[in-house]
Amino acid sequence: MRKVNGIRIGNKISRLPVIQGGMGVGVSLHRLAGTVAKEGGIGIISTANIGFREFDFDTDPQSANLRAIKKEITMAREIANGGILGVNIMVAAQQYEDLVRECVANGIDLIISGAGLPLKLPELVKGSASKIAPIISSARAFRLILKSWIKRYDYIPDLVIVEGPQAGGHLGFSYDELAENKQSLEDIVLEVLAAAEEAEQELGVKIPVIAAGGIFTNEDVVRVMELGAAGVQIATRFVATEECDAASEFKQAYIDATDEDVEIIKSPVGMPGRAIRNAFIKRVEEREVKIKSCSRCLKSCHIDTAPYCITKALVNSVKGNTSNGLIFCGSNVSRIKSLTTVKKLLDELCGV
């Protein structure tokens, strides 16, 4: 195994070059994110319906989510012991601007934003110490965001996360692109690195590029960093850790998954997503799942056309009711065979 260096976030540098990907609903909260930060990586809390355990979530999800952000960041910071903490906030979230402002108000180190183009993000963090990073799946998206941020806010991304087609959850590719499997993560990373180098020559500022999607081993980490990536973002492998915030049944679903269990589904938000095929997905296909209520969590999801409530499906699974829930995963989930700890996983990934 080969040892690798950390990632610079403003005036902070992580000991290890690993960002733990944000996983919602409730898969990556304070315990996982705080432990990753404590052990030298960058821990990420997912804000996607983060207040699902609050007493008033069913009646007032907006207030519940904002209240939970403060709680989760506070608890994560107690665990992190000075390590770097961030959040993942989906552009598609109805509460997007309020979620960003609440995270900034609570002094979060890093805001990662995808599921749409975060064109207004610099405005929302203005005057704060919080750093920001868009998630993109192409050099074209990188150039678009860079041009927009500079023109409107004179702001250059603090880093950029390049998510390839092997990632889990919602994906920034069309169904045809995923079916054709023409581009690898390495291809996209090289294209974005070339665009970042052009920007550096013009602006005099280096923009760190982080590779994400399908990273599983130390060899994977070294390979993309030798291409020029400043680090990696990994999500799927952190589910099968003792510190992951999801229920044991959720973790076991990862351990039990085979290659045949993984498929691309159509999410109610209109985007393709990668998930473990289970009894719930089969019932969705047979149109047996009914929506009883709507928390209006995402802009592109509508109760009259959605095949099921994605919030309810994700909450069920993270609480352990996996047969009635949606289980997002990365393409390599079948390679996970047992539970481990965050420290052991980070040591393995980084050649420590």
Rounded Cα distance, 25 and 88, in Å? 11
Vertex 306, ends 164 and 255: CA angle to 5°?
45
Using one digit for the tens of pLDDT, what is the confidence trace for 131-167? 999 999 999 999 999 999 999 999 999 999 999 989 9
The pair of three-digit structure tokens given for residue 276, joined into one six-digit string: 């473990």
Using one digit for the tens of pLDDT, what is the confidence trace for 71-125? 999 999 999 999 999 999 999 888 999 999 999 999 999 999 998 899 999 999 9
Using one digit for the tens of pLDDT, what is the confidence trace for 309-339? 788 899 999 999 999 999 999 999 999 999 9
Rounded Cα distance, 26 and 33, in Å? 11
Peptide bond connecting 25 to the previous residue in cis, omega within 30 degrees of 0:
yes
> Measuring CA to CA, how many Å separate 1 from each of 219, 223, 243?
7, 12, 24
Q: Are 233 and 17 in contact (CB under 8 A)?
A: no
Highest mean pLDDT among 4-8, 168-172, 347-351 belongs to 347-351
Look at residue 298 in the predicted model and tell me its pLDDT. Answer: 57
Look at residue 351 in the predicted model and tell me its pLDDT. Answer: 87
Rounded Cα distance, 167 and 177, in Å? 14
Helix spans in the chain (H): 30-38, 61-80, 96-105, 121-124, 139-153, 175-180, 185-203, 218-227, 236-239, 248-256, 279-285, 310-318, 342-350
Rounded Cα distance, 93 and 218, in Å? 34
Using one digit for the tens of pLDDT, what is the confidence trace for 216-272? 999 999 999 999 999 999 999 999 999 999 999 999 999 999 999 999 988 877 788
Domain boundaries, the chain: 8-246+335-350, 249-324
Level-2 CATH architecture, domain 8-246+335-350 = Alpha-Beta Barrel (3.20)
